[in-house]
Structure 1
Amino acid sequence: MDAHKIISDIKSKKLLPVYLLHGEEPYFIDQISDYIEEHVLEEAQKGFDQTVLYGKDTDFITIVNAAKRYPMLGNHQVILVKEAQNLKWKGDDDVLLAYLENPMKSTVLVLAHKHGKFDKRKKIYKVAEKVGVVLESAKLYDDKVAPWIGTFTKDRGWQIHPQAAAMMAEYLGNDLSKVVNELEKLMLNVPKEREISVQDIERNIGISKDFNVFELNTALAKRDVTKAFQIVSYFAANPRSNPIQVILGAMAGYFTKILKYHYLPDKSPQVVAKELGVHPFFTREYDLAARSYNRRKTFDVIAHLREFDLKSKGLNATHVEQGDLLKELVYKILY
């Protein structure tokens, strides 16, 4: 069960007595717990029948005592335990286990256990699965972020150009809360009837459409020496907005896809898009990049990227500016 299905069931008044939300991606956990907090009870009921607790400030007895109360103004009460990972989950949670084995049907208990997986070996996990909903909120892989951006915007009634989505994914990474904040900023400034473009990303998020790691990878794929060095010179002049670790990570992801492309037996656009996790719009570029960098050269580039990642962290390269490291790296890749 995913976050969309859980929220859909809640909208349909299909409420269950416990929601155990856990995992490394906080966005989906917050999405569900926030929806429950905002929509399950009417505003007039919340002061009487909604309790918000925080893991570091509460304990299992307090949670269970709250959960055992009857609602005062409606059919349900809501108990939200935020930051539940901070509870003392070491043997003193038997009182919660006993409650979950026979929960109040009128209570909606939400355990928001963020920044890590809940221990699935615990009896609480198995009982929660039986009587309620358990969601494991996993981090998206980097190559899934751009498609997720496309789906998110479509669900909200907007469209985004694949290159714009890819640019956002490259720069913002897989922190979905950050991605959503930037998308909401875009939606305030771009009308629904117009596709969100690369130019919109530049104007509203501050990512240069000409000088970014996305364009650097393209320049390297084309072996466009002038453009590649223009971009890294821009990075060198603006190190705060272009941190080297982000750049190296994006380049490593790109050349790893090129290597994977080399080993695909079927290089049709549909297969390439699926296997590399990219939009079909970009498959031609990977074909071009694979011709620019044969298998051996691609392995060499990946080795250079590892070497310069270590140098950027101070290994064998103390007191070297990040701009100089990037220029040397690009020279090695191109020559």
Structure 2
Amino acid sequence: MNFGELKTRLKKGDISWLYLLSGEESYYIQKAEEAILNTLFPKGYNVEDVQLVDGTSLSIVDFVGMVETVPFFSPKNVIIVRDAIMFKAKKSAENEAAGKDSAKQASAMEERLYKLFANMPDFSIVIFELRGKADGRKKLYKEFSKHAQIMEAAPVKAYNIDEWLQGKLQEIHKTMDREAHAYFVRAVSMMENIPLGFLDKEMEKLSLFMGPEQKLINRDTLVQVFSDMPEIYGFAMNDAISNHDIKKALYLFNKQQEQGVYIVPIIGQLVHFVRQMWQAKTMLKKGLRDKALGQAIGVSHPFIIKKIIRECQGFSEETLKNAFLQLAECDLGAKTGRLDNAEVEGVIISLCANNK
């Protein structure tokens, strides 16, 4: 199950004695831990008695003893096992290194775990956490899953960011108009890895910036707060070019370099933008629209597709073709140490000046 499904279960009072929170998105693992603890300790009482354990050095004997120990000062014995590597796949070298005797001993110890999982004391709750994918082929995982709730925290991509965004908007009591939503989704799509923890903090800042009275986030407000974030300077630069805003586009081009961003990836951002505009314009001429056009240019989100269709019509094919060729020369110059930044600025100016 995912984080949303886990929250739904908790709200219904469906609490398990065993949890495994695993996956590549640490933001959801942290949020899931908080949600479970808030359910177990609604007023915060006794939350300080939660035991935090390092799973990399935890012995099965010690773990079983902890689980079976009756708590004295709290009604619940809650144990959080961080970095629960017991659920990870073992490397072949590790398997070979383990002798037959030690393997038998380990198997006997695991059998003890299986019995514990099947007969958990009603005063103990264990939350296993693993930053990474759990190995569902392991017997340990299969036995555990019979008695536990397992949440998989898959990395978030631009095409499924809406689930997180809608939850966050509800949390900060805001809504977002279509233009702001399209800007946000496209900005996120330009990020190599989507840092949900970072976005969470930025949305909190946005909420404070707007104040409690203003409920609707429009594009201008979002741009005002988000466009000066180093993480999306590249997207903001391309967005400024789409709006033919020469001053802002050049400012963001130079701002990236001031932040220490190497010129080659900046050129790469521009190449991606120009290629996408050119491809979209070509597909439009062939009669493709909406989802079909999106599939042709490798874009799935409907808001982004509509935005690209609208923006590409602001450039002539000749301008896009020339910009693409000039950027190829700039890329070669940058990689051979012969680039003058004014050449890239010239491409940006030519794109902004072309308002067909």
Whether the TM-score (by the shorter chain) exceeds 0.5 is yes
**Are 2:47 and 1:46 equivalent residues in the alignment?**
yes
Q: How does 1:85-104 map to 2 (within 5 A)?
A: 85=85, 90=90, 94=110, 96-104=113-121
Q: How does 1:188-267 map to 2 (within 5 A)?
A: 188-192=208-212, 193-201=214-222, 204=225, 207=228, 212-218=233-239, 220=241, 224=244, 227=245, 231-232=249-250, 234-241=252-259, 243-244=261-262, 247=266, 254=273, 259=279, 267=288
**Corresponding residue of 1:132:** 148
Q: Deviations over 1:279-333 (max 9, x none)?
A: 5376154254278476xx78x959968x94x987xxx335968x56854775898
2: distance between equivalents of 1:188 and 1:229? 28
Q: Per-residue deviation at 1:15?
A: 1.0
**Are 2:301 and 1:283 equivalent residues in the alignment?**
no
Q: 1:176 aligns with which of 196, 204, 207?
A: 196
Q: Per-residue deviation at 1:180?
A: 0.4
1:135 is paired with a residue of what secondary structure? strand
Q: Per-residue deviation at 1:80?
A: 0.8
Q: Is the 8 A contact 1:21 1:110 kept in 2?
A: yes
Q: Deviations over 1:66-105 (max 9, x none)?
A: 1223344666421111233499975757254453344334
**Corresponding residue of 2:129:** 112
Q: 1:159 aligns with which of 175, 188, 207?
A: 175
**Are 2:12 and 1:12 equivalent residues in the alignment?**
yes
Of structures 1 and 2, the larger Rg is shown by 2
2: distance between equivalents of 1:16 and 1:58? 22
Stretch deviating more after TM superposition (231-240 or 244-253): 244-253
Q: Is the 8 A contact 1:232 1:326 kept in 2?
A: no
1:64 is paired with a residue of what secondary structure? helix
**Corresponding residue of 2:3:** 3
Q: Deviations over 1:127-173 (max 9, x none)?
A: 23221111221111234436743552145420132255247526765
Distance 1:79 1:215, change over 3 A: closer
Q: 2:200 is aligned with what amino acid?
A: V
Distance 1:150 1:311, change over 3 A: farther
Q: 2:216 is aligned with what amino acid?
A: E
Q: Is the 8 A contact 1:255 1:302 kept in 2?
A: no
The sequence identity of aligned pairs, in percent, is 15
Distance 1:221 1:45, change over 3 A: closer
1:165 is paired with a residue of what secondary structure? helix
2:135 is paired with a residue of what secondary structure? coil
**Corresponding residue of 2:100:** none
Q: Deviations over 1:35-66 (max 9, x none)?
A: 22343135443355x21223345444333321
1: distance between equivalents of 2:170 and 2:258? 32
Q: Per-residue deviation at 1:26?
A: 0.6
Q: Per-residue deviation at 1:195?
A: 1.7
Distance 1:4 1:176, change over 3 A: same
Q: 2:161 aligns with which of 123, 133, 145?
A: 145
Q: Is the 8 A contact 2:186 2:304 kept in 1?
A: no
Q: Per-residue deviation at 1:19?
A: 1.1
Stretch deviating more after TM superposition (163-172 or 5-14): 163-172
Q: Is the 8 A contact 1:80 1:110 kept in 2?
A: yes
Aligned length: 320
Unaligned runs of 5+ in 2: 91-102
Q: Is the 8 A contact 2:88 2:134 kept in 1?
A: no
Q: 2:306 is aligned with what amino acid?
A: T
1: distance between equivalents of 2:227 and 2:351? 28
Q: 1:231 is aligned with what amino acid?
A: A
Stretch deviating more after TM superposition (251-260 or 17-26): 251-260
Q: Per-residue deviation at 1:178?
A: 0.6
Q: Deviations over 1:159-205 (max 9, x none)?
A: 13225524752676511011001111222232354322444445545
Unaligned runs of 5+ in 1: none
Q: Is the 8 A contact 2:237 2:253 kept in 1?
A: no
2: distance between equivalents of 1:63 and 1:33? 19
2: distance between equivalents of 1:3 and 1:220? 38
**Corresponding residue of 2:97:** none
Q: Report the TM-score, using the length of structure 2 for normalisation.
A: 0.68
2: distance between equivalents of 1:63 and 1:29? 21
2: distance between equivalents of 1:68 and 1:251? 60
Q: Report the TM-score, using the length of structure 1 for normalisation.
A: 0.71
Q: Per-residue deviation at 1:234?
A: 4.1
**Corresponding residue of 1:70:** 70
Distance 1:266 1:52, change over 3 A: farther
